[in-house]
Amino acid sequence: MPIPNPRANEKKETYISRCMETVTKNEKDEFPSQKQRAAICYSTWDRWQKEHGHPEKAEK
Give Cα separations from 9 to 1, 4, 25, 26 (angstroms): 23, 15, 24, 25
| Mean pLDDT, the chain, whole residue set | 87
Q: Tell me the pTM.
A: 0.82
pLDDT number for residue 58 = 42
Structural domain including 19 reads 1-60
Residue 2, pLDDT > 60, answer yes
How much is the pLDDT for 19? Answer: 97
From residue 24, give the alpha-carbon distance in Å to each of 15, 31, 48, 53, 59.
14, 8, 20, 27, 25
Provide mean pLDDT across the span 14-25.
Answer: 96
* Domains identified in the chain, total number: 1
Q: What is the mean pLDDT of residues 42-56?
A: 84
Asked whether the predicted pLDDT for residue 6 surpasses 90, the reply is yes
What one-character-per-residue DSSP string does 13-59 give?
HHHHHHHHHHHHHHHTTT--SHHHHHHHHHHHHHHHHHHH--TTTT-
pLDDT (0 to 100) of residue 22? 95
